[in-house]
């Protein structure tokens, strides 16, 4: 009996361990793939939230300038501050993300696309599979537009009052409270 | 003559066959297409993640990154599902 116990060719000890290790490599690889994907999704949600918050700040920022475009620079500064507070002050992303704007001043800009956006670079891969890494370029966009500035309101109200007080009857004007 | 070592020889022979099969599968075009470098499988996963992240629905259309041709906001020809001011009435 003692001789048989030492005879490796007839012993099945360790077989399940070897099989477990072989299959465990694959299971572990896919486990880490899904873990990585969950991190990508979590970062993505946070990024969308930051972009949306920045877009809201961009929409309403106003410094009371009498010129119609006088608040546009301030709007992007405010949006950037909100975005950076959520994204770039945390260590979650491990990268500096640049917020960009689509303003009405941009050439051929559709008014539907006025707002802010940013790109998040992430990746996923299957550990153990060579060259399985895929880089992801995730675009987070929020195009809420811009509220009319006080400068625009002043100009439009001024135009209407001028129309009312003019002696000419060539044009009809209506003065109403449009929320400005 | 005895039977000692028979199971070892059989085990080795079987191991060779299994290893050969595993390598042939691993090196096959179909497997590489699925899990190998630059596989179609991962390319599809990448496209689906990028598209659904940006547009909020499941698809894997080619994404040009061109903001003027944004699927969610403006379709080809300037059609849109949104009601909003046009550029002309915006004060341009």
- pLDDT tens track for A119-160: 999 988 877 776 778 889 898 999 898 888 888 888 888 877
> B1 and chain A: CB distance < 8 Å anywhere?
no
Q: Work out the percent of chain A whose per-residue pLDDT is above 90.
A: 26
Chain A interface, mutation test: which of B49, B63, B71, B83, most A Cβ atoms within 10 Å? B49
Among A89-103, A119-133, A166-180, the range scoring the smallest mean pLDDT is: A166-180
- Residue A16 predicted with pLDDT over 60: yes
What is the pLDDT confidence band of residue A67, given thresholds at 50, 70 and 90? confident
Among A120-124, B36-40, B67-71, the range scoring the smallest mean pLDDT is: B67-71
- Indicate whether A82 and A22 sit together in one domain: yes
- Residue A12 predicted with pLDDT over 60: yes
Smallest Cα–Cα separation from A120: which of A177, A45, A44, A66? A44
* Cβ within 8 Å, pair A10-B7: yes
On whether residue A1 sits in a domain, the answer given is: no
- Residue A47 predicted with pLDDT over 90: yes
What is the pLDDT confidence band of residue A35, given thresholds at 50, 70 and 90? very high
> B88 and chain A: CB distance < 8 Å anywhere?
no
- Indicate whether A45 and A125 sit together in one domain: yes
> B9 and chain A: CB distance < 8 Å anywhere?
no
On whether residue A8 sits in a domain, the answer given is: no
**Who among B7, B38, B82 is closest to A112 (CB)?**
B82
Domain that holds residue A134: 13-147
| pLDDT given at position A99 | 93
Cα A34 to Cα A39: distance, rounded to the nearest angstrom? 9
On whether residue A92 sits in a domain, the answer given is: yes
Instruction: With H, G, I as helix, E, B as strand and everything else as coil, classify residue A120.
Output: strand
- Indicate whether A157 and A86 sit together in one domain: no
Residue with tokens 């689509």: A102
- Indicate whether A81 and A164 sit together in one domain: no
Cα B36 to Cα B6: distance, rounded to the nearest angstrom? 38
Chain centroid offset of residue A168 CA = 52
What is the pLDDT confidence band of residue A14, given thresholds at 50, 70 and 90? confident
DSSP string, B71-83: TTT--TTS--S--
Cα A139 to Cα A119: distance, rounded to the nearest angstrom? 5
DSSP string, B27-58: TSHHHHHHHSTT-HHHHHHHHHHHHHHHHSS-
What is the pLDDT confidence band of residue A95, given thresholds at 50, 70 and 90? confident
Among A93-107, A157-171, B1-15, the range scoring the smallest mean pLDDT is: A157-171
- pLDDT tens track for B41-51: 888 888 888 88
Q: What are phi and psi of B5, to 5 degrees?
A: 90, -5
- Indicate whether A96 and A170 sit together in one domain: no
**Who among B37, B78, B87 is closest to A130 (CB)?**
B37
On whether residue A68 sits in a domain, the answer given is: yes
Q: Which residues of A touch B (CB under 8 A)?
A: 9-10, 40, 44, 68, 102, 104, 108-113, 117, 124, 126, 129-132, 134-141, 143, 145, 152
Among A45-59, B13-27, B74-88, the range scoring the smallest mean pLDDT is: B74-88
Query: Does the ipTM surpass 0.85?
Result: no
Smallest Cα–Cα separation from A53: which of A137, A116, A2? A116
On whether residue A79 sits in a domain, the answer given is: yes
Among A20-34, A51-65, B59-73, the range scoring the smallest mean pLDDT is: B59-73
Cβ-Cβ pairs closer than 8 A, A with B, add up to: 74
pTM: 0.74
- Residue A41 predicted with pLDDT over 70: yes
Among A73-77, A115-119, A147-151, the range scoring the smallest mean pLDDT is: A147-151
Chain B interface, mutation test: which of A111, A123, A155, most B Cβ atoms within 10 Å? A111
- Indicate whether A111 and A153 sit together in one domain: no
- Indicate whether A131 and A89 sit together in one domain: yes
| pLDDT given at position B69 | 57
On whether residue A50 sits in a domain, the answer given is: yes
- Indicate whether A165 and A128 sit together in one domain: no
Show the tokens assigned to B32: 């590489």
């Amino acid at each position: 009996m003692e001789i048989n116990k030492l005879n490796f060719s007839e012993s099945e000890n360790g077989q399940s361990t070897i099989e477990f290790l072989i299959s465990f490599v694959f299971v572990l690889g896919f486990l880490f793939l899904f873990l990585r994907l969950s991190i990508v999704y979590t970062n993505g949600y946070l990024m969308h939230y930051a972009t949306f918050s920045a877009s809201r700040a961009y929409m309403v920022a106003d410094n009371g300038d009498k010129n119609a475009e006088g608040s546009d620079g301030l709007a992007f500064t405010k949006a950037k501050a909100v975005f950076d507070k959520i994204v770039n002050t945390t260590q979650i992303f491990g990268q500096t993300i640049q917020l960009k704007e689509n303003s009405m001043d941009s050439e051929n800009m559709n008014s539907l696309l006025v707002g802010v956006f940013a790109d998040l670079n992430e990746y996923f891969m299957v550990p153990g599979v060579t060259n399985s890494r895929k880089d992801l370029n995730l675009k987070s966009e929020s195009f809420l537009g811009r509220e009319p500035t006080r400068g625009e309101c002043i100009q439009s109200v001024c135009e209407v009052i001028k129309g009312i007080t003019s002696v000419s009857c060539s044009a009809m004007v209506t003065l109403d409270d449009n929320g400005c | 003559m005895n039977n000692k070592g028979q199971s070892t020889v059989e085990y080795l022979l079987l191991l060779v066959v299994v290893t050969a099969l595993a390598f042939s599968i691993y090196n096959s075009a179909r497997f590489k297409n699925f899990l190998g470098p630059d596989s179609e499988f991962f390319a599809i996963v990448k496209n689906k993640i990028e598209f659904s992240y940006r547009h909020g629905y499941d698809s894997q259309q080619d994404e040009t990154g061109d903001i003027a041709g944004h699927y969610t906001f403006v379709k080809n020809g300037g059609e849109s599902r949104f009601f909003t001011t046009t550029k002309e009435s915006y004060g341009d």
